[in-house]
């Protein structure tokens, strides 16, 4: 019989009771610490509002949580091959692994890929990348220097650490400014970690951390903003994080975090129209163009849609193809599908 995910209340009680029957079938991510655990973890129990339950360790990693060092959720019930490589990863979380490294250990890379996907839902190389980026970005966001962040991430090479961060953000850690007017900070969501860029007044960017366009978007922000970019938080970071928490919990949310839009007049017009699409509903590119009074501008609308750099708040995921297909989405079609389903469920529950 397939495992049917119980309610969060049931899983929280299992966490309190350290119920071994859920071991390996459910995990808890703790928002106050950024760590995820087995439900039998002996650590002090978090408050219910700080718990995010997931069915796999991979889902916890994708949501931005780090594995607990006490209960070691990545190791539980694993094949020896997987357990051995996870142990090696934990020993060197900053190492830049490659398939040749795996082969040098006497393992067939294709066998390793299948084993990790089967047990963790993510390949070993993907797992290594997630761990490395989480360690480095979290250290910087907590105010550590570049050297301190490098050591926290256990990178032996400063150039390797800068390269990894540059790939993620399009800006090496040395390019961050301590007194920058814009600050970047990670935000965990059930669909994976996001990065939010804010100034003291408003939100400038909100993207999933694996969006391919993220480095170029950040470069443009840095170019357009005197004083550059730093790591840290302002009040708008806390506001958008709280609103996203409510949104992903299934509430119908009106986002009130102030926005600063970076785009031309037509793009801003499209983005305004996107925010007027009711939650739980979708529109086609052509239909949106007609609503804007530009019935022949479907392609221009699509371009403006793709240029949006404030995901979810400016809901470009609500625009689909004329035939009902999901079409493209910078955050990935799996996320677009999940966001539409989440909003439809919330709309159906609303009075």
Please identify every residue annotated as catalytic.
Answer: 316
Alpha helices in the chain (DSSP H): 8-17, 57-62, 80-91, 99-104, 109-120, 124-141, 146-152, 158-169, 214-224, 235-248, 265-275, 285-291, 298-307, 333-349
Among 214, 195, 203, 272, residue whose Cα is nearest residue 236: 203
Q: With beta carbons less than 8 A apart as the criterion, state whether 237 and 347 touch.
A: no
CA distance 160 to 209: 19
| Residues with Cβ within 8 Å of residue 325, at least 6 apart in sequence | none
Residue 90, SS3 per DSSP: helix
Within 13 Å, how many C-alpha atoms sit on residue 98's CB side?
Answer: 3
- CA–CA–CA angle 37, 42, 48 (5° rounding): 60
CA distance 226 to 228: 6
Q: With beta carbons less than 8 A apart as the criterion, state whether 133 and 161 touch.
A: no
What is the edge-to-edge ordering of all strands in the sheet holding 66-67? 51-54, 27-30, 35-38, 66-67
């Amino acid at each position: 019989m397939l495992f049917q995910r119980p309610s969060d209340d049931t899983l929280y009680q299992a966490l309190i009771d350290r119920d071994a029957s859920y071991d390996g079938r459910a995990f808890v991510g703790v928002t106050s610490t950024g760590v995820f655990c087995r439900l039998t973890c002996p650590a002090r129990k978090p408050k219910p509002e700080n718990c995010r339950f997931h069915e796999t360790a991979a889902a916890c990693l994708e949501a931005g949580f780090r594995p607990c060092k006490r209960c070691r959720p990545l190791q539980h019930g694993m094949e020896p091959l997987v357990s051995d490589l996870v142990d090696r990863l934990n020993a060197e979380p900053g190492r830049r692994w490659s398939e040749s490294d795996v082969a040098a250990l006497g393992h067939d890379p294709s066998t390793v890929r299948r084993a990790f996907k089967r047990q963790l839902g993510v390949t070993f190389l993907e797992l290594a990348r997630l761990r490395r980026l989480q360690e480095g970005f979290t250290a910087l966001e907590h105010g550590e220097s570049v050297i301190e962040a490098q050591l926290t991430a256990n990178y032996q090479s400063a150039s390797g650490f800068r390269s990894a961060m540059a790939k993620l953000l399009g800006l090496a850690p040395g390019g961050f400014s301590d007194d920058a007017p814009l600050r970047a900070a990670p935000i965990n969501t059930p669909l994976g970690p996001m990065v939010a860029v804010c100034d003291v007044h408003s939100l400038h960017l909100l993207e999933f951390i694996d969006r391919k366009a993220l480095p170029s978007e950040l470069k443009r922000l840095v170019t357009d903003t005197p004083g550059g970019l730093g790591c840290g938080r302002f009040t708008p970071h806390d506001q958008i994080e709280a609103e996203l928490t409510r949104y992903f919990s299934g509430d119908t949310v009106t986002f009130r975090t102030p926005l600063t839009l970076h785009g031309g007049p037509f793009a801003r017009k499209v983005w305004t129209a996107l925010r007027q699409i009711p939650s739980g509903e979708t529109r086609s590119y052509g239909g949106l163009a007609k609503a804007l009074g530009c019935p022949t501008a479907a392609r221009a609308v699509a371009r403006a849609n793709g240029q949006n750099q404030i995901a979810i708040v400016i809901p470009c995921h609500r625009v689909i193809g004329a035939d009902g297909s999901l079409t493209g989405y910078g955050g990935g079609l799996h996320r677009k599908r999940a966001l539409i389903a989440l909003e439809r469920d919330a709309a159906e529950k609303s009075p």
